[in-house]
Structure 1
Amino acid sequence: MKYAVEISNLYWRFPTVTGIRRDYTLKDINLKIREGETFGITGPTGSGKTTLCYIIAGIVPRKIDIPEDKISLYLRGSVSVMGQKLLWVSERKKKAVLSGSPDVKVGLVRQDPESHFTGVPTITEIMGNLRSTGLGHKEIGERVKHALELVKIDPSSQKSLDIPPSKLSAGEKQRIAIAGCLAMKPDILILDEPTSDLDPASKRQVIDAISYLKKTEKITIIIVEQDQDVLRELADRVA
């Protein structure tokens, strides 16, 4: 059996300005997520769910200014994504080591979809990241079309795609943010509270889009969600 994510004895705490060590945000996390499954993560607010997603996505601790010889004060354990070790603690050197393969792609859709947008028309938002990859215009167009279809948005709908995402409904914004990640063809898609603060109609749109994605694409999906009904409908397993 192949695992998309393997986490062993993970501990993490954030550094402070004063240098005083906080308690660990994540304590002794052990987790295995199979390739191709939809895995739900739940828990109370402040329990470290989003932090765990940021670690899987490689954002933490890479984006935090911690001297390499001090990382082991905040981090213990190991994390592997698609068979590539992202971080682990070297027992021989007694310090944390950051590694990882650029071939492993993790798409992260944050809880607030607005954080993904810059204010340009929706279609430009989706195409923006693809243009930086050096792909040809034809392939970019095909990827965008496929990504929009996966989240049940009509690629020919000028009404939705020619205006800034800020003018779309909450459900449409969330689906556009998901489409932007899918266009990059990630190995793993992480959705952080994808249905929070949505009205019932918008929530149903997002749930249906994720359900369709599960059925049509061979992709590992990690859903952080407090709504147990959503997890029962979408997740294969929940932790």
Structure 2
Amino acid sequence: MPTAPKGNSHTEPKIAPGGPRHVAIIMDGNGRWATQRGRPRLFGHHAGAKRVREIVEACPDFGVEYLTIFAFSTENWKRTQVEVAGLMSLFRRYISKETRSLSEFGVRVRFIGDRVRLDDKLIRLMNELEAATAHNTRVHLTIALNYGGRDEVARATQRLAQDVAAGKLDPEAVDEETLPKYLDTYVLPDPDLVIRTSGEARISNFLLWQSAYAEYEFIDTLWPDFTKAEFGSLCAAYGGRDRRFGAVKT
């Protein structure tokens, strides 16, 4: 990644008029991309990891302050042992390799998801990356790792119930503004635009609560082929949408 002054000394990006402030991406199609080339699925995952860098770097150009990417779902453990082990190795390698460049580019990294099932080395690297980039503000990159929307809501509900049981929260005061404070994404704005690559038209248990009013784009492009230009086109198209949030314009 190109280098830039650290932390708050960055020139803050100007939000494109009507453009999305927060984009979430379901990065699908790595395996098919590799299969089309006669290569193992992990080859596609490595290509997909490289694509992440380009899209992160493009965010300031399009006024995107927050980028959330779906790296590994709670359901992905069902894949072959070889693929899961390869993905975990890729995550460790990516974090080790990219920590410095992410920090220099002004990216703040957060991880969401349940870390209990992840190995100790990966958890340590995740914690170190979050700490190393905590001062940055240029792009807020959130990586969903061992994440599932239903799992997140269940864990949030457990924490909320514990606070009710402990007398810290009045159950009569619980409303739709309360639960988000217990979600993994409690410090993030809700996504404005959710993109899914590879031609599949489903949300796959991703940011279920947060995306209630998000706009969706389901595109045929496989994730390793997703370019900065296509990203920019989708952000521009978002700006032309009429977002009423359930109301009717008069």
TM-score between both structures, scaled by the size of structure 1: 0.30
More helix by share: 2
More strand by share: 1
TM-score between both structures, scaled by the size of structure 2: 0.29
Higher relative contact order (CA 8 A, sep 6+): 2
